Structure 1
Amino acid sequence: MRDILLALIFAGLVPVILRHAWVGIPTLFWVSLFTPQLQTWTFMHGFPAAMLFTVVTLAAIAFSKDRKPFPWTRETVMLLILAAYFAMTSHFAVNSSGAWDFWVHFMKILLVTFLTPILIHGERRILITLLVITGALAFFGLKGGIFAVNTGGAHMVLGPSGSYLSGNTYIGLAMLMVLPLILTSARLFHRQWVDFSIPLINRFAVPIGWAGYAVFWFTCAAILATHSRGAFVGMVVITPFLFLHMRKKWLLVLVAFIGVGVIGVTAPEPLVERWQTIKTYEEDQSAMQRIQSWGVAWNMAMERPLTGMGFRNTALGYDWWITYAEFEGGWRHVLSPHSIYFGLLGQHGFGGLAVYLFLGAFTFLTLNRVRRTAKRRTGKIWLSEYAWALQVGLAGYFIAGIFLDVAYFNLYYAFIAMSVIMRRELEEAPKPAEATVPTPAQPLPQDTRPSLSNPSLGARSGVERR
């Protein structure tokens, strides 16, 4: 039944995308992050959904006039430079065929990244896309959180088998990145920042918001229960930002005091033992493997500082790889760099790492600008709040990425695309003072929240729907 239902959903989405090309973008994020095809058991399992919807979206764009020009921003320029730089390193790669294969894979990620700001514009589309990205991973947070609570955190929370998020480390990072988005989405509904113009949603907006808060806390538990040290360090870093952004902080402190000081709630022993290895890394084999891999990547970059060794250099095997190591342990493990930064160093040299870091810095600064000015300049609370959420999610990505090889994670590039879109939304939206002033013939409606489907209502409330 699950396979039949998914097949019907996919079949129904195809004509919708052909008619409304922008629907293809949230659909692509849904199938790549949630991977519904891997949640089935028979004929739909492993179905090439991303390929299908990419082709359908490209076909729809060819006949659609409802699109924006390609945005030439510092982020998109850096993405093009990154693609060109990776092409150069693939040309000089030690494993040329494997390098070009992965370069093509990376170009598919960038293709969706470039299509997103062309098709996604205006309040309605931006919010739907953000909610799809959030919901696709919040599902695993809710599911994993319930599992963690039921088992007392004694067992690892894992991602969907067969996907990029399989295992504990990658799903931990993904949930960490969307955790601020879950909180902001809950506030979006609970505080009714926008009018969705759907009576059922408007009627139950507050309960939906409360449910979102519950998913937020379950996701916190799920992140910790992944037993991922990278996700744990990232959680430690972003927690102060989440706490400072919350209201009723005194209530959280009171609950924590009662839970720990009165009831005696403590972290499960398996989690504590796992986290303690951060301090005693010399005694932990996994940690020492990371240090060994970082040394390998550094030495590769020192030998070839501009090009590195290229994508998939580890395919040359352990005997070649170990010649770059500072020491050899009593293990033979997956030859992963275990780090965004060392991975880029080994594969693309200091030049590739520099381009990547500039891209991340530009994205972070753009989101910071939107966060600081959107509410004052446009009156759109949601625009400022989601910029904050993406910014905090990026901080978690860059911190946890010290220990995880996730330089090509499509969620990161989705964040970049959304930052470009939100910057454009900020620049094109009229200031509240420029909004249409109602005349006696145009009285203000009682509900002056910005509408997702009624442009005139948004303009009268001081927030134009774009």
Structure 2
Amino acid sequence: MRDIVLFILIVGCIPFIIRRPFFGVLVWCWISYMVPHRLGWGFIQTLPVASVIGLVFLVSYLFSKEPKRIPLHSPIVFLLLFNIWMVITFIMSVKDPYVLSQFEKIMKIQFMTLVILALLTTRQRIEQALWVVALSIAFYGIKGGLYTIQTAGGGRVWGPTGGFFFGNNELALTLFISLPILFYLRHIVPANKRWLKFGLLVAMGLCVLSALGTQSRGGLVACIAVGFFLWLKGPNKLAIALVIMIAAPVVYQFMPDRWHDRMATIIEPDRESYDGSVKGRFNAWEMAFNMAQDRPFGGGLNGFKAENFYLYAPEPERKHDSHSIYFQVMGHHGFIGFFLWLAIYLSTWRSAKKTIKLTNKRDDLKWAAFLAKMLQCSLIAYAAGGAFLGLAYFDLPYHLVITVVALNVVVNKQLAAEAAEKKQEKIRQLAEAGQPHPDRFKVQA
């Protein structure tokens, strides 16, 4: 029965996508982050849902009057350069079935990310996409939070099967990336909708419990980073500080001894004191760095394989995945790819900072300043928690990038329109007074 309901719901979206391409963006985000077809138990799990929705959306977009250009701001320029470099490293690498499937998957994500950017043309569209993304992820945060309460923190929380964040570590990081977005959405909800504000507050709390219930050490690092930056960037700093000070000891005491024992291993006095998992990560990170030094094009999308560990790792027998966005990119694409990838996020941070500077002192644009600050908090969560997870190709961080760019475009467009309107008003006033406009003399000169 669940499969039939999901099938009808997904197929029912197709006519709306054909009629309104931006609706396809929302459905695509829903499919990508909630992975609803994986919630079924039968035939719906094996259907190519994402491919069908993506194809319908692209056809609808192609034949629509929607804009077909993307704003070439610095984050997008670096994103395009990084994609070009990934194509080059793919050509230079050994192409086994795994590499081919991964390359196809990554390129699809990158392409759809740019198409979505072209359609994020207004505040309403930016916020609609954020609602879908945040609530799709929060669905698993709410489930996981309730499960954590039910098991008193004893059960480990996992993400959706088939999604980027199926693993417990990946789910924790994803929840903390989405937490500042939920914070922003709660902020813009009208005051008369108290039930929705309260519901989002509860959802945020359950997402935190769910993330802690994953028993992810990287998740705890992301939690601390997000908590600090939410206090730093958010309004009502005193209220946020009080909530953190009251909630932190309660949650800490609530979690079981097994959780405390695991979290206590985040910092050890020396390298030998760490467990096998952490030692494996250290070994993989050194291998990636050594390989990037020796190979300008990196090891390719299957760079963390046995033969490369024998060539470049301090402990060749200790094979391990990258477990770090930084060393994952470095190992796959070399130092050039790493610095291009890093430039995407550094320029995105700078773009958000510019938006804050333009809008912070204007009441009508304070929403944009606050959103830019919350997106910066999400980027911090990704930067902190991603140091221990291989999620360099996850589409959510790239959605943060295009949202920052789209936000900057929307703000600049409004400011430019206001400047043009003021100029026209000044010309009209001068004309009524019988005086020539100063620009006239500039043209003659």
Note if contact 2:157-2:214 (Cα within 8 Å) is conserved in structure 1: yes
d(CA) in 2 for partners of 1:309, 1:162: 26
d(CA) in 2 for partners of 1:407, 1:268: 32
Question: Are residue 423 (structure 1) and residue 413 (structure 2) matched?
Answer: no
Q: Which amino acid aligns with 2:77?
A: V
Query: What number of residue pairs does the alignment pair up?
Result: 418
Question: Are residue 242 (structure 1) and residue 230 (structure 2) matched?
Answer: yes
3-state SS in 1 of match to 2:388:
coil
Question: Are residue 361 (structure 1) and residue 337 (structure 2) matched?
Answer: no
Trace 1:26-425 onto structure 2 (pairs within 5 A).
26-67=26-67, 69-95=69-95, 98-191=98-191, 205-244=193-232, 245-247=234-236, 249=238, 253=242, 256=245, 260=249, 265=253, 267-280=255-268, 282-304=273-295, 306-314=296-304, 317-328=305-316, 335-377=320-362, 379-425=364-410
| 1:30 to partner: Cα distance | 0.8
Q: Which amino acid aligns with 1:408?
A: Y
Percent identity between the two aligned chains: 27
d(CA) in 1 for partners of 2:240, 2:130: 29
d(CA) in 2 for partners of 1:155, 1:296: 34
d(CA) in 2 for partners of 1:84, 1:252: 44
Note if contact 1:186-1:211 (Cα within 8 Å) is conserved in structure 2: no
Deviations 1:185-240 (A, max 9, x none): 1121154xxxxxxxxxxx6x221011111111111111111111111111111211
Question: Structure 1 residues 313, 190: closer, same or farther in 2, change over 3 A?
Answer: same
Note if contact 1:34-1:136 (Cα within 8 Å) is conserved in structure 2: yes
| 1:319 to partner: Cα distance | 4.7
Question: Structure 1 residues 211, 322: closer, same or farther in 2, change over 3 A?
Answer: same
Q: Which amino acid aligns with 1:48?
A: P
d(CA) in 1 for partners of 2:240, 2:128: 32
Note if contact 1:190-1:207 (Cα within 8 Å) is conserved in structure 2: no
Q: Which amino acid aligns with 1:323?
A: L
- The corresponding residue for 1:198 is none
Question: Structure 1 residues 151, 14: closer, same or farther in 2, change over 3 A?
Answer: same
Question: Structure 1 residues 357, 258: closer, same or farther in 2, change over 3 A?
Answer: closer
Note if contact 2:287-2:309 (Cα within 8 Å) is conserved in structure 1: yes
Q: Which amino acid aligns with 1:309?
A: G
Deviations 1:133-191 (A, max 9, x none): 11111111111111112222122111012322112011111101001111111121154
| Residues 391-400 or 428-437, more deviating | 428-437
| 1:423 to partner: Cα distance | 0.8
3-state SS in 2 of match to 1:401:
helix
Q: Which amino acid aligns with 1:58?
A: L
| 1:64 to partner: Cα distance | 0.6
d(CA) in 1 for partners of 2:202, 2:105: 36
Question: Structure 1 residues 54, 228: closer, same or farther in 2, change over 3 A?
Answer: same
Q: Which amino acid aligns with 2:285?
A: W
Question: Structure 1 residues 369, 251: closer, same or farther in 2, change over 3 A?
Answer: closer
Note if contact 1:190-1:208 (Cα within 8 Å) is conserved in structure 2: no
**Which is helix-richer, 1 or 2?**
2
Q: Which amino acid aligns with 2:349?
A: F
TM-score normalised per structure 1: 0.83
d(CA) in 2 for partners of 1:296, 1:277: 23
Note if contact 1:180-1:392 (Cα within 8 Å) is conserved in structure 2: yes
d(CA) in 1 for partners of 2:116, 2:252: 48
- The corresponding residue for 1:200 is none
CA RMSD in angstroms comes to 2.6
Note if contact 1:18-1:57 (Cα within 8 Å) is conserved in structure 2: yes
Note if contact 2:231-2:240 (Cα within 8 Å) is conserved in structure 1: no
| Residues 89-98 or 164-173, more deviating | 89-98
- The corresponding residue for 1:463 is none
TM-score normalised per structure 2: 0.87
d(CA) in 2 for partners of 1:264, 1:134: 25
| 1:47 to partner: Cα distance | 2.3
3-state SS in 1 of match to 2:3:
helix
d(CA) in 1 for partners of 2:91, 2:421: 56
Q: Which amino acid aligns with 1:84?
A: I
d(CA) in 2 for partners of 1:99, 1:116: 26
d(CA) in 1 for partners of 2:383, 2:128: 26
- The corresponding residue for 2:431 is none
Deviations 1:374-424 (A, max 9, x none): 353571333222221111001110111111101101101111111111111
Q: Which amino acid aligns with 1:400?
A: G
